[in-house]
């Protein structure tokens, strides 16, 4: 039976051998590409790129699947951008809605003292009674020295 198949496939032996070599070449190129992609992705995410490249080189697709499961969810650049966005939003909110520097409770821009902790926030102009910052030496509204 084996000889029958051998005789039937004899004319196609060169094509079969070429197909086998192309499959091996594809596997090698695929493995190198997978290792390179894993190394670059792990480097962007700060996840030990050499270790994960070695895991993918040794275990191939199962190693890559393990990396995909345990890799950090975002890159370092994305995390840094998210943190900057959060900080800028906090600064923006603090400018629009000031808080007491002592107790961190919301206060109005015109308050002279914090109603919660009695901390002095601003001083009153001696001439026009407008609220002024504590470090101002002159009133910007009426030009009176303080």
The pLDDT tens digits for 18-36 are 999 999 999 999 999 999 9
Within-domain flag for 17: yes
Within-domain flag for 116: no
Within-domain flag for 93: no
- Beta bridge partners, 114, equal none
What range defines the domain where residue 42 resides? 2-77
Confidence of residue 118 (pLDDT cuts 50, 70, 90): very high
For the chain, the helix, strand and coil percentages under 3-state DSSP, each to the nearest 5: 60, 10, 35
Within-domain flag for 53: yes
Q: What is the pLDDT of residues 27-63, one digit of tens each?
A: 999 999 999 999 999 999 999 999 999 999 999 999 9
Q: What is the pLDDT of residues 70-112, one digit of tens each?
A: 999 999 999 999 999 999 988 887 777 788 889 989 888 889 9
Quote the number of domains for the chain.
1
> Which tokens hold the place of 116?
């919660």
With a cut of 70, say whether residue 1 has pLDDT above it: no
Within-domain flag for 22: yes
């Amino acid at each position: 039976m084996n000889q029958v198949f051998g005789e039937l496939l004899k004319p196609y032996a060169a094509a079969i051998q070429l197909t086998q070599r192309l499959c091996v070449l594809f596997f090698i190129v695929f493995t190198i590409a997978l290792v390179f992609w894993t190394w670059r992705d792990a480097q962007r995410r700060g996840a030990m790129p050499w270790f994960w490249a070695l895991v993918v080189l040794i275990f191939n697709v199962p190693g890559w699947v393990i990396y995909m499961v345990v890799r950090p969810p975002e890159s370092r650049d994305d995390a840094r951008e998210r943190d900057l966005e959060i900080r800028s939003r906090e600064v923006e909110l603090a400018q629009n809605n000031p808080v007491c520097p002592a107790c961190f409770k919301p206060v109005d821009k015109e308050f002279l003292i914090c109603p919660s902790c009695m901390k002095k926030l601003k001083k009153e102009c001696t001439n026009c009674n407008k609220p002024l910052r504590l470090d101002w030496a002159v009133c910007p509204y009426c030009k009176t020295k303080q």
